Structure 1
Amino acid sequence: MASIMTNTSAMTALQTLRRVTGDLETTQDRISTGLKVNNAKDNAAYWSIATTMKADVAGFKAVKESLELGSGTTNTASVASKNIVENLQTLKARVIAGQTNGVDKSLIQNDVDQLVKLIKGAAADASFNGDNLLRVTYSNDGTAKDKNVSILASLSRSDGSVDPSYIEFQRQDMRVESIVGKATIEQQVDSTNDLKASVGIKLGAPDTTFIDGQNLGLGAMTLTVTKEDGSKVDVSVDLSAQTYDTDLATTQGNIATAVNTALTAAGADFQVAFNGDTLEFTDQDVNTDGNFTAQISGLWVGSKESDAFGGLADLTQIDVVNNSKKSLEVINKLLDSAIGKASVIGSIENRVSVQNDFVSKLTDSMNKGIGALVDADMNEESSRLQALQVQQQLAIQALSIANQGPQNILSLFR
């Protein structure tokens, strides 16, 4: 039936044109954005998942940056710790050479001193972005303030919440800082000099090196005394509880009292007193024969890691001239300690590297998953675009033909 009131053909053609035009706009939008799901109206479920995962990817990018920073820090510390171990091995060889009679020990000691400076510099320079894993700072009571280190390593999503995880480890103190110097030991047996040994312990002026009540960081002082009757006695004085007490004189007096008490208890022939920053050991000439023949050997002031003493502080007391045997004993312990510390740093460096690689691969995998949900297939969209353009042209022609129907009816009345 031909009607001038209702053009059914035109309506059908118009609906087809609208549908094709809508599909064409959708396809063009996908091609221009590269996304088949660009907002929630395209696919609410996929858009929600993709948006959440994109937020996670952004979080993992921050994690990767943290790991990159951690990698730089641990790598710097690893290089420095390896250098320290190598220098300690060389230093040990020098100390062993100093055990031999007939060698110029002063020249060997000069080499030792230079190596100690190299080690001290390596520990001080192992800083990346202001962070040094070979240095620890301490509170006034002697406890470490910043020994624990955390590097952001990953993120985990569970029940709508995101929880961070960390690579946690401890700094490895390899500083050479020390307030104790080399011990001076008189080697002559028959002597009229009652001063037989001394050791520098520089506590400093009040509020410069220590503050009132601060632990000094001292450990055990050890020495061997050959008494005037020829017998030997080993003396050990625990100084670990010594703190800075009111002023320098009082603090030095407390140390001297502790040492004298131990010497007396051991029946040793010496007493001590501070002369400036030097703790001096004087022979008491117990047999009152006018000869001060008592001797001291192996004098060493132990320490514990603190602001005043680094993890390798005992290096400052290495002395192949006056204390070669004790120096060899100590360098062996220090080398073992340094190897252990370097191993810890190396293992953390490897762990950070492995985790960094994992996060990179995980991020790539997540991006791939997001792409599978929302990315447009450009090959498919390109083919669809061409087909829809043809359909649009045909729909326009069909609508044009349908719109000519009423004109054809009008011609019947001419």
Structure 2
Amino acid sequence: MTSILTNAAAMAALQTLRAIDNGLETTQARVSSGMRVETAADNAAYWSIATTMRSDNRALSTVADALGLGAAKVDTAYTALENVIDVMSEIKAKLVAAREPGVDKTKINDELRELKSQLLSAAQSASFSGENWLYNSNLSPLGTKSVVASFVRSANGNVSVATLDFNTANSVLVDIKDPSRGYLTKAIDADLLQETPTATPRYYHLIVAPGSTAPASSTEIVIDGSTTYEALDDMISVVDNLTKQLTNAASTLGAITKRIEMQESFVATLNDVIDKGIGRLVDADMNEESTRLKALQTQQQLGIQSLSIANSSAENILQLFRQ
């Protein structure tokens, strides 16, 4: 039946054209944005996951920056310690040279004084971003220093920040307020370092930092013409013991540096993996979308043609009323 009130064919063609236009609009949006899930309306579950992971990835990027800052602090402390160890070896060599008969101990002491000044300078200079792990001028200890290492999201959705911790008690060289907290300022009993201790304490310290006081009942490592061989032996033992302790401290910092490097590499890889995972959830397949776009454009043209034919069929009724 043909009706001038209801054109069923035109209505069907129009409905089809609307569906094609909706599909074309969706495909064009995917092609222009490169994403098949751009808003929550596209796929609420995937959009929620992708949004959370993007937020976590930004946090991981900040962790990477924090690791770089932490690495710089550790490297600064390690470099200074390495220099101090070299100077300590030189001091030990000078003390051994002072044990030779007939040597001018006063001249050697002049060299020792300059070497000790270098030790103090290295400790004071080992500062990065306002932090110095080798030199303390505060009443309280420097304590434990933390380097942000990772951003962690648990299975139940809780988040936390993991850190790498280093106790600066293992690295402080000079402590003005409490000499016993610094390797170079503390007193060491030379008697305990002998193969056969005599139970007669003989305390020595290496330097006295400006603004501080010498450890009680302790003798600074200074030599002159009256310095005995026994005293020189004690000083050599103390310097050697300090060098070993400083070497252990440098080894610890070196291990932390290696750990930071490994963590930096892991965080960078994890960032890439998360980005790739997000892409799998929300990115559009451009090959597929371009093919669909071409097909929808063709369907749109056919839909318009069908609607035109359906509308023109009603006009043919006018021919029946012509004479």
Fold equivalence (TM over 0.5): yes
- After superposition, the C-alpha distances for 1:250-290 in whole angstroms (9 at most, x for unaligned) are xxxxxxxxxxxxxxxxxxxxxxxxxxxxxxxxxxxxxxxxx
Aligned-pair CA distance for 1:124 = 1.2
Residue in 2 that maps onto 1:169: 166
SS of alignment partner, residue 5 of structure 1: coil
In 2, the alpha carbon distance for the partners of 1:150 and 1:5 equals 81
Match of 2:222 among 306, 319, 341: 319
Alignment deviations for residues 177-221 of structure 1 (CA, whole Å, 9 cap, x no partner): 66xxxxxxxxxxxxxxxxxxxxxxxxxxxxxxx7xxxx7859769
Partner residue of 2:77?
A: 77
* Structure 1: unaligned runs, 5 residues or longer: 179-209, 225-232, 237-297
Superposed counterparts of 1:26-45, under 5 Å? 26-45=26-45
Q: Which residue does the alignment assign to 2:93?
A: 93
Q: Is the 8 A contact 1:153 1:355 kept in 2?
A: yes
SS of residue paired to 2:134: coil
| Alpha-carbon distance in structure 2 between the residues aligned to 1:98 and 1:174 | 29
The amino acid that maps onto 1:300 is: Y
**Coordinate RMSD, CA, aligned:** 3.0
Instruction: Please say if residues 36 and 282 of structure 2, whose CA atoms lie closer than 8 Å, have aligned partners that are also in contact.
Output: yes
Asked whether the equivalents of residues 73 and 128 of structure 2 are also in contact (C-alpha less than 8 Å), the reply is: yes
Q: Aligned partners of 2:235, 2:99: CA distance in 1, in Å?
A: 10
How far apart are the structure 2 equivalents of 1:126 and 1:219? 19
Which amino acid in 2 is paired with 1:83?
A: N
Counterpart residue number, 1:370: 278
> C-alpha distance in 1, partners of 2:190/2:41?
84
Distance 1:362 1:29 in 2: 30
The partner residue of 1:398 within 289, 303, 306 is 306
Q: Which residue of 1 aligns with 2:195?
A: none
What secondary structure sits across from 1:168 in the alignment?
Answer: strand
Contact 1:221 1:302 in 2 (8 A): no
Checking the alignment, whether the CA contact within 8 Å between 2:38 and 2:47 is kept in structure 1 is yes
**Aligned mate of 1:300, from 181, 194, 204:** 204
- Partner residue of 1:355 out of 242, 260, 263: 263
Structure 1's 393 and 20: CA in aligned 2 closer, same or farther, altered over 3 A?
Answer: same
> How many angstroms apart in 1 are the aligned matches of 2:17 and 2:103?
105
Task: Say whether residues 1:154 and 2:156 are aligned partners.
Answer: no
Mapped to 2, the partners of 1:346 and 1:221 lie a distance apart of: 26
Q: 1:84 to 1:96 in 2, by over 3 A?
A: same
How far residue 223 of structure 1 moved from its aligned partner, in angstroms, is 9.4
Counterparts in 2 of 1:220 and 1:118: CA distance versus 1, 3 Å? closer
1:34 offset after TM fit, Å?
1.4
Which letter does structure 1 place at the counterpart of 2:98? Answer: G
- Aligned residues, how many? 302
Cα shift at 1:133: 2.0
Alpha-carbon distance in structure 2 between the residues aligned to 1:331 and 1:413: 122
Identity across aligned pairs (percent)?
40
Structure-1 residue corresponding to 2:109: 109
What secondary structure, in the 3-state scheme, does the structure 2 residue paired with 1:164 have?
Answer: strand
Matched ranges for 1:185-204 at <5 A: none
Conserved 8 A contact 2:189-2:203: yes
> 1:239 maps to which residue?
none
**SS of aligned partner of 2:149:** strand
1:157 corresponds to which letter in structure 2? R
User: What is the correspondence of 1:119-268 to structure 2 with a 5 Å cutoff?
Assistant: 119-136=119-136, 138-139=138-139, 144=141, 146-158=142-154, 159-171=156-168, 172-176=170-174, 217=180, 235-236=200-201
- Asked if the contact 1:94–1:108 (Cα under 8 Å) also holds between the matched residues in 2, the reply is yes
Task: Tell me the amino acid that sits aligned with residue 161 of structure 1.
Answer: N
Cα 1:363–1:335 change in 2 (3 A) is same
Matched letter for residue 15 of structure 2: Q
Distance in 2 (CA, whole Å) between partners of 1:354 and 1:327 is 41
Q: Are the equivalent residues in 1 in contact too, given 2:74–2:257 (CA < 8 A)?
A: yes
Match of 2:68 in 1: 68
Aligned 8 A contact 1:156 1:164 in 2: yes
* TM-score normalised to structure 2 length: 0.84
Change (3 A) 1:155 1:301: closer
* Partners of 1:223 and 1:235 within 8 A in 2: no
The unaligned stretches of length 5 or more in structure 2 are: 192-197
TM-score (norm 1): 0.66
User: Contact between 2:188 and 2:238, CA under 8 Å: does it hold in 1?
Assistant: no
Distance 1:109 1:127, change over 3 A: same
Determine if contact 1:176/1:309 at 8 Å carries over to the other structure: no
For residues 309 and 364 of structure 1, the distance between their equivalents in structure 2, rounded to whole angstroms, comes to 54
Q: Could you give the per-residue CA deviations for residues 310-358 of structure 1, whole angstroms, max 9, x where no partner exists?
A: 9xxx9x9222433422221211111011101111111111111111111
